Amino acid sequence: MKNVTIIIVILLKITICLSAQNIKTRVFRLNDHVFRAPSDENTIDSITTGITLMKRKNQDLDIVMSNTYYTNMIRFTKFNFNKRIILHDSGFDQELVFDQSDFEGLSMGPFFAGKVIWYNSKAHDNIYMQLITPKIEISISNFKRGLELNGKIDLLDIEKSKIGGSLFLNDVSSNIISLEEDTINLDFRVINGSFKQKWEIISSVFNGKFEVRGCQLPKDIFFNKNTFRNDGYKVNLTYNKTDSLKSNHNGKDINYKCQIHLDVENAGNVIIDSKNFEIKLDSISSYEDGLIIYEKIMNTCKDLGMEESYRDFDVSYQKYRIKHNWLHFSDFMIWFQNYWWGFGYSKSNIITNILYAFVISFFIFFILYKQVFNTYFPNEDHNVQSIIIDCSKNLIERFKVVFFYTSIVFFSWKVDHERIDYRKHPWISLLIYAIYTVGIIHLAYLAAFVLA
C-alpha cells in the first residue's frame, strides 16, 4: 500500500511538470476590455489554464492570482478595472505590463517578475508591491493615492508621473533609483533600504516631507533641479550609513564615501556630513557654481553646529580653489597648506615650523659663518674680521654671534641691500635672501595666527 502511494505521488508530480511545460508556450494578452462580474454568482472564470482567476465581489470585479507561476508575458492594455488586482505568491519570468489602463488599486506580494512596467496608467487607490524584480518602470502615470514598494528591485525608474499620496520605499534593496520630472504630493520616505550604485533625483516636485533614514547609501547621488514645499526646506541625509561601500585593498580597509552631485539650486536643500559624503563637482557648468555649492553646504553645517563636517568641507573647498588658481603647481600648494597649518585648522603647526626653520637656518650660518659674515653683516660699526677671528677661537662665542645674526636675518622685515656683497659671494647672497624670505613667510603666517 505504501509503495502504491509513492507511485501515485510521483505520477502527480510528473503530470504537474508536463502541465507547466504546456503553460510556458503561451502569451496572455487582454486588449480593449472592461471587466464586469459574471452573471452567475457561483461562477469562477478561469483564463489561460487557471493562471488568473476573476471573482465577483460586491457587483464589481477583483482579479486575483494566487500561488501561480507563469513563464511568459502578461499585458493589460486599455483595461478598466472597477476593483483591485490582487497578486499573491506568484511570479512571471518576463514582463507584467500595465499599458493605458485604469483601475482601483493593486496589491502584489510576495511576487516576482522579470519586469513590471506601467505606462500612461491610473490607479485610484493605494498601490502596494512586495516583489523581486530586475526592473520597475513607471512613466506618465497617475497614482491618486499612495505607492509603497518593498523587496529587491534592481532598477526603479519613475518618470513624468504623479503620486497623489506618499511614495514609500520600505526595506528596499536596489542598485539604481531614478526619479525624474515626478510630482509627489505628500511624503517621500526611504526607510531601512540598501542601495549600491546610484540615485538620480532630478527635476521632481516634493510637496511633503523628504525622509531618508537607516539606509545603506549608494556610491553616487545625483540631486538636481528639484522643488520642495518651501525654498528653505532641507533634506537630512545624515541618518544613514556607508558600511556597504567599504572594501579591502592590499590588506587595508578603505572607507569610501557617497559621492553627491549637486547643483546651485539644491545645494542649500540638503544636510550632509563629511563622514559619509563627498561633494563631486564634475557636472557643474562653472568654477563659480562650485564655490557657491561648497559655501551653501558649509553654511548649513555652520548653522547646525556640525563643526567637524564644516571643517572637512572647508578643506575640500580650499583644495578646489587651489586646483583652479595654481593649476600645475596645485599638488605642491595643497601639500604645503596641509603641512604648514592644516589649511588653517592646525595653526599651532606654525610655531613648530618656525622653530624648525630657524634651527635649520642657524646651523647653515653656523657652518658657513665666515662666508656669510663677509657677504652681509647688518651692523657697520663692528669689525667683521675681528668677529670672525673670535668665533673661530671660541665655539660659545660663535654660537652667540651666529644665533643673534640668524635672529636678525630671519625675523627682519627688511635687509640692507647695499651692504650685501653680490659680486664676491653671489651664492651666499642668494642663500641669505632665501633664509630672509623664509623668515618673512613665517612672520606673515605668525601674524595671521595671532590675529585669529
Q: What DSSP letter does each residue of 110-148 carry, written as one string? A: EEEEEEEEEES-EESS-EEEEEEEEEEEEES-EESS-EE
Cβ neighbour number for residue 402 with a 10 Å cutoff: 22
More confident residue, 344 or 292: 292
Q: Return the pLDDT at 59.
A: 35
Q: Return the pLDDT at 346.
A: 86
Q: Assess whether pLDDT exceeds 90 at residue 360.
A: yes
The C-alpha cell at 276 is 559619509
Q: Assess whether pLDDT exceeds 80 at residue 20.
A: no
Nearest to 317 by CA among 351, 279, 266: 279
Q: Return the pLDDT at 72.
A: 67
Q: Assess whether pLDDT exceeds 60 at residue 436.
A: yes
Degrees to nearest 5, angle at CA 178 with 175 and 180: 175
- Distance (Å) of CA 288 to CA 265, 291, 321, 370: 13, 5, 10, 54
pTM over 0.85? The answer is no
Average confidence (pLDDT) over 67-85? 70
In the chain, the number of structural domains is 1
Q: 3: pLDDT confidence band, cut at 50, 70 and 90?
A: low
Give me the residues paired with residue 56 across strands: 61
- Residue 408 maps to a domain: yes
The C-alpha cell at 274 is 563629511
For the chain, how big is the Rg over CA atoms in Å?
Answer: 37
Q: What is the DSSP letter of 256?
A: -
More confident residue, 42 or 308: 308
How far is Cα 29 from Cα 283, in angstroms, rounded to an integer? 44
Q: Assess whether pLDDT exceeds 70 at residue 9.
A: no
The C-alpha cell at 251 is 590588506
Q: Return the pLDDT at 161.
A: 95
How far is Cα 256 from Cα 193, in angstroms, rounded to an integer? 18
Q: Return the pLDDT at 82.
A: 67
- Residue 30 maps to a domain: no
Q: Assess whether pLDDT exceeds 60 at residue 215.
A: yes
Q: Return the pLDDT at 452.
A: 64
Q: Return the pLDDT at 235.
A: 95
Residues with Cβ within 8 Å of 61's Cβ and at least 6 positions away in sequence, in order, are 35, 36, 37, 54, 55, 81, 82, 83
Out of 29-33, 110-114, 183-187, 359-363, pick the least confident: 29-33
Q: Is 299 helix (H, G, I), strand (E, B) or coil?
A: helix
Torsion angle (degrees, nearest 10) of CA 222, 226, 230, 232: 30
Q: Is 30 helix (H, G, I), strand (E, B) or coil?
A: strand
More confident residue, 129 or 260: 260
Q: Return the pLDDT at 14.
A: 41
Cβ neighbour number for residue 196 with a 10 Å cutoff: 15
Residues with Cβ within 8 Å of 382's Cβ and at least 6 positions away in sequence, in order, are none
Give per-residue pLDDT as tens, 222-281.
999 999 988 789 999 999 998 878 765 565 667 789 999 999 999 999 999 999 999 999
Q: Assess whether pLDDT exceeds 80 at residue 187.
A: yes
Cβ neighbour number for residue 387 with a 10 Å cutoff: 18
- Residue 8 maps to a domain: no
Out of 51-65, 149-163, 321-335, pick the least confident: 51-65
How far is Cα 206 from Cα 162, in angstroms, rounded to an integer? 11
Q: Assess whether pLDDT exceeds 80 at residue 78.
A: no
Q: Return the pLDDT at 344.
A: 86
Nearest to 358 by CA among 395, 403, 390: 403
Q: Which residue has the cell 612672520?
A: 443
- Residue 86 maps to a domain: no
CB 238 within 8 A of CB 276: yes
Q: Return the pLDDT at 450.
A: 74
More confident residue, 31 or 287: 287
Q: Assess whether pLDDT exceeds 90 at residue 104.
A: no
Q: Which residue has the cell 532598477?
A: 155
- Residue 430 maps to a domain: yes
Average confidence (pLDDT) over 40-56? 34
Q: Return the pLDDT at 38.
A: 39
Give per-residue pLDDT as tens, 284-333.
879 999 999 999 999 999 999 999 999 999 999 999 999 999 989 999 99
- Residue 191 maps to a domain: no
- Residue 60 maps to a domain: no
Domain range enclosing 426: 347-451
- Residue 437 maps to a domain: yes
Q: Assess whether pLDDT exceeds 90 at residue 184.
A: yes
Q: Is 373 exposed, middle or buried (0-12, 13-18, 19+ CB in 10 A)?
A: buried
Q: Assess whether pLDDT exceeds 50 at residue 337.
A: yes
